[in-house]
A and B are shown apart, each in its own frame.
Chain A
Amino acid sequence: EPEVTQTPSHQVTQMGQEVILRCVPISNHLYFYWYRQILGQKVEFLVSFYNNEISEKSEIFDDQFSVERPDGSNFTLKIRSTKLEDSAMYFCASSEGGGETQYFGPGTRLLVL
C-alpha cells in the first residue's frame, strides 16, 4: 500500500539556522498538508497546498515558514530561522481530493538547540 514518506526522520539544528523538511506524498494525491505536534500535545495544522499554491495556513505559519513543490514528487517545508519553540514532530499528509482522507507520513522530529 502506498505511503507518505518523510526525510530526515530526525534533525538537530542550532537556533537561527534554516532547515528544510522533505516529504514525498502518495503519487496520485493532489492535496498536501503540513502539521506539527509538540511533544505530548495535539497535532496542529500548519498549511495546506493545492495546485502549486497555499490553500490555507494557520497563525503558526508565519513569514519564517514556506512550502514548495520543487518537482513532481517532493513537497518541502522550510523554516528560515529556527527558534527553540519550533522543536516538534512535523508531519506531512496528503489526500487524493480536498474532501478525502488525509494520510500521514512518519514525521520528522526537529530539535532546535
Chain B
Amino acid sequence: GENVEQHPSTLSVQEGDSAVIKCTYSDSASNYFPWYKQELGKRPQLIIDIRSNVGEKKDQRIAVTLNKTAKHFSLHITETQPEDSAVYFCAARGWGTASKLTFGTGTRLQVTL
C-alpha cells in the first residue's frame, strides 16, 4: 500500500521567513496530494491540494510543488505569520472511487516573533 514520509517533524522559523515541508510517496498510481493544517485540538483543514497533472499550484502565500518522477511534493509558505503555527500534514490518494487518504507523520511549524 501507499506510504508517505514527511520531513521535518518540527520546524521553527522567524516571522516573515519562508517555511518548506517535504513529503515523499511510494505508490506511483497516487494522483492527488492535499495538505491539511491542524491546530491544537481542531479538525484537519485543507489548505491547498495538487493533482498529478500539474507541477505547481499557488494560493497567496502558500504553494505546492509536485515531482511525479521523483515521487515527492513540497509545501512552501512565504512571509510566515504567527497564525501559521500549527501541525501540517501531507497526504496522498491513490486511484479509485472513495479512495483513502494516506497521511504523512506531520510537521509542527512554530513561527516565532
Give me the interface of A with B, judged by CB distance under 8 Å: 31, 33, 35, 41-45, 48-50, 55-56, 58, 91, 98-99, 101-107
Take A43-B89, A50-B97 as given contacts and tell me if A106 and B42 are in contact as well, using a CB distance cutoff of 8 Å: yes
| Beta-carbon contacts under 8 Å, B87-113 to A | 89, 91, 93, 96-106
CA distance A31 to B96 in the complex (A): 12
Say whether B97 contacts A98, CB under 8 Å.
yes
Say whether B100 contacts A48, CB under 8 Å.
yes
CA distance A43 to B43 in the complex (A): 11
Instruction: Count chain B CB atoms within 10 A of each CB in A31, A43, A55 and give the residue with the most.
Output: A43
Q: Does B28 contact A (CB under 8 A)?
A: no
Residues of A within 8 A of B101 (CB): 35, 43, 45, 102
What per-residue 1/0 map shows which CB atoms of B16-42 lie under 8 Å from chain A? 000000000000000010101000001
Say whether B98 contacts A50, CB under 8 Å.
yes
Closest to B106 in A: A42
Q: Does B44 contact A (CB under 8 A)?
A: yes
Instruction: Count chain A CB atoms within 10 A of each CB in B89, B93, B99, B105 and give the residue with the most.
Output: B99
CA distance A35 to B42 in the complex (A): 14
Say whether B99 contacts A43, CB under 8 Å.
no
Residues of B within 8 A of A33 (CB): 98, 100
Residues of B within 8 A of A103 (CB): 46
